[in-house]
Chain A
Amino acid sequence: MQTKNKLELLLVDDDEVLLMILHRMFLKADPSLDIKRFESGDRALQYLSENPNGDNRFMLVDINLKDMTGWDFLSVIEETNDPSKIILITSSVDSTNHGLASRHPNVIHFFEKSITFSIIKEILETIEEKIEKE
């Protein structure tokens, strides 16, 4: 890792089990990650408004949250010019999601769960690439 600051990773998913899986896999792949778990979009947005300085912040956001869709979540982020980089995750296999995801500048990655350890590594690599570019 070439980053000086610790990477902050927010996991936003209403599925408790998936949160647990993601958390454990990310920690295994990179024990230095600062991981925070949110079971609703509202709580995640609240955290973001209370902690606006998130240059090294990345988020995994589920498209189908109970209180809002991932797209709603994205438009709030875009309105507030939050620089957070977002990775969308979904358990659905609806192909229209891919097209929608590419229209949002904050979205750097999109994947369908199931989560494998290799996908976790792929995500971390994407994040590192982003950081090197900036």
Chain B
Amino acid sequence: MRKDSKTYNFLIIEDNLGDYVLIEEYLSEYILDPHTTHVVTFDKAKENLKDNGEFDLIFLDLSLPDHSGEDLIKDVISLSKGIPVIALTGFSDLEFSIRSLSLGISDYLLKDELTPPFLYKSVIYAIERNRYIEDLQDSEKRYSELFHLNPSPMWVYDENSLAFLDVNEAAINKYGYSEKEFKKMTVEDILAKGQLQKLEEINNGENKKKVVYSNLFRHLTKSEKILDVEIESAPILFNDRKAKMVVANDITDKIRHIQTIEQQNNTFKEIAWIQSHVVRAPLARMMGLINLLESMDVDLSGENKQILEYIQKSAEELDVIIRDISKKSENIVYADEK
């Protein structure tokens, strides 16, 4: 038979030398090179677990000279930092062994019934299941952090009752309600007037086919401040309830900026219109008058003639300036209209 060639480190906490030898022998039958560390007291086990956390599995005899019973299990489990623990028991402890599973023991083995394949199966099962559970806990933690530490306000609400099921820190900070308050509220409580209808339309209407929708909403904070928010929402199952997960981005400032710019732009258009139509009218009149004066062959003496020429020159310069401004503003106004 081919033996398992992976490296395993076992900590065997067992005061009965015979039982320890038996376990080591049985392990060797299926595992090529099992590394075992043998301790006979809880104190020694504690030292080993503190110094060296690289065990793959712990065997624990439930009656040790310096510690036993439920407290022993609890202490070892807390020291094991996630390493699976298999309890070794005699017949007399059977009932207690079964109960020990709820304390975090991976498995219990009756020493009198132990066989090499059974032991090997139990070891592999405990290690693999433990790894799987750790992965699961890791990913759950990652996703939970992604939600709870997300800088954008997020929440989960029940699709039918609209009740808040979970909220993150950013939402609590943005809306001013505590988590406790949120969980007694529904989405309706943070919607500004007229917004509920919109939400219902989106949830029931044509958007239903779209799994993800994005929309603008007006929300109210606890202090009744109105927020313009961009909502992104997606359906999820939350504790077996049909729910929606929502990300709300506050775009109140963004919208205010855009409005300011739009106002400025309108004023600018007005100025451009004034430049092009109003300012030039009196200038055109002035230039016409100068031309008229010239065409009338009025006999002007040397100095007066020069004065007229200067007036004309100034008017022409002003004309060039107005045309220049007008051209520039036209470009901007038309670019805006496109």
Contact = CB atoms under 8 A, between A and B. Distances in A.
Interface in B246-303: 276-277, 280-281, 283-289, 291-292, 294-296
A17 B322 contact: no
A94 B319 CA distance: 13
A92 interface: yes
A74 B3 CA distance: 103
Nearest to B295: A117
Contacts of B323: 93
Interface string A99-120: 0000000000000111111000
B331 to A, nearest CB: 10
B330 interface: yes
Given A93-B323, A94-B330, A114-B319, A64 B292 contact: no
A116 B289 contact: no
B280 A17 contact: no
B292 A18 contact: no
B326 interface: yes
B276 A114 contact: no
A87 to B, nearest CB: 15
B295 A25 contact: yes
Contacts of B284: 18, 91, 112-115
Contacts of B315: 114
Interface residues of A, number: 20
Nearest to A63: B277
A115 B283 CA distance: 11
Interface in B311-330: 315, 319, 322-323, 326-327, 330
Contacts of B319: 114
Given A64-B277, A94-B276, A95-B330, A117 B285 contact: no
Nearest to A20: B292
A82 to B, nearest CB: 27
B277 A115 contact: no
Nearest to A29: B295
A134 B206 CA distance: 66
B326 A115 contact: no
Given A21-B289, A114-B287, A94 B295 contact: no
Given A18-B285, A21-B288, A117 B294 contact: yes
Contact of A25 (B280, B281, B285, B292): B292
Contacts of B287: 113-115
Interface in A68-96: 91-95
A83 to B, nearest CB: 29
A24 interface: yes
Nearest to B297: A28
Interface of B: 276-277, 280-281, 283-289, 291-292, 294-296, 315, 319, 322-323, 326-327, 330
Given A21-B292, A92-B280, 18 more contacts: A15-B281, A15-B285, A17-B289, A21-B289, A25-B291, A25-B295, A28-B295, A91-B281, A93-B322, A93-B323, A95-B327, A95-B330, A113-B285, A114-B287, A114-B288, A114-B319, A115-B288, A117-B291
List of 10 A-B pairs having minimum Cβ-Cβ separation, nearest first:
A114-B287, A91-B284, A113-B284, A117-B295, A21-B288, A92-B277, A91-B281, A115-B288, A116-B291, A94-B276
